[in-house]
Amino acid sequence: MKLLTPDTYVSTGASGPALALANDLDPQAQEIAGVARIELHFPKFSDGRAFSQAFLLRRRMGFAGELVATGDVLVDQLAQMQRSGFDAAVLRADQSLDTAQRVLASYPGFAVGRYQGDASQLQPHFKAAA
């Protein structure tokens, strides 16, 4: 998962057509053909609807582009974001990039889907190898 700071993230044009979805929109009602990146917004830490949107986009809609978490993104959420299908997270300004990298490194089993499937990798690693 790419970790970005608000200073290093540019929300338009870098990787192709982008779409920003408010967290109260149903992703299944959106036209995503030709979209390279979708930004899902966390308006506050306790509002997790963007997790559900990411899961729907990956598993039900087959979106293969980049999913970016924006808004009130804290390091505490990163492992779950990765498992929900996010490719990148723009950390809230007061969050440490070094701490965020350490947090993600603490969950290597999740990063490769070793123990259980997730939004991006349906089968756990040990099942896929068999």
Spatial neighbors of 51 by CB under 8 A, at least 6 apart, are: 80, 81, 84
How high is the pLDDT of residue 10? 74
Residues 7-49 pLDDT 10s:
888 765 556 788 999 999 999 999 999 999 999 999 998 999 9
Note the pLDDT tens digit of each residue in 88-115.
999 999 999 999 999 888 866 555 445 5
Which domains are assigned to the chain? Answer: 2-129 (3.40.50)
* Among 34, 57, 47, 39, residue whose Cα is nearest residue 119: 57
Start-to-end CA distance of the chain, whole Å, equals: 26
Q: Assess whether pLDDT exceeds 70 at residue 120.
A: no
| DSSP, residue by residue, 1-26 | -EEE-TTT---SSTTS-EEEE-TTS-
- pLDDT for 14: 54
**CB crowding 63-81: b at 16 or more within 10 Å, else e:** bebbbbbbbbbbbebbbeb
**Amino acid identity, residue 39?**
E
pLDDT at residue 129, as a whole number: 53
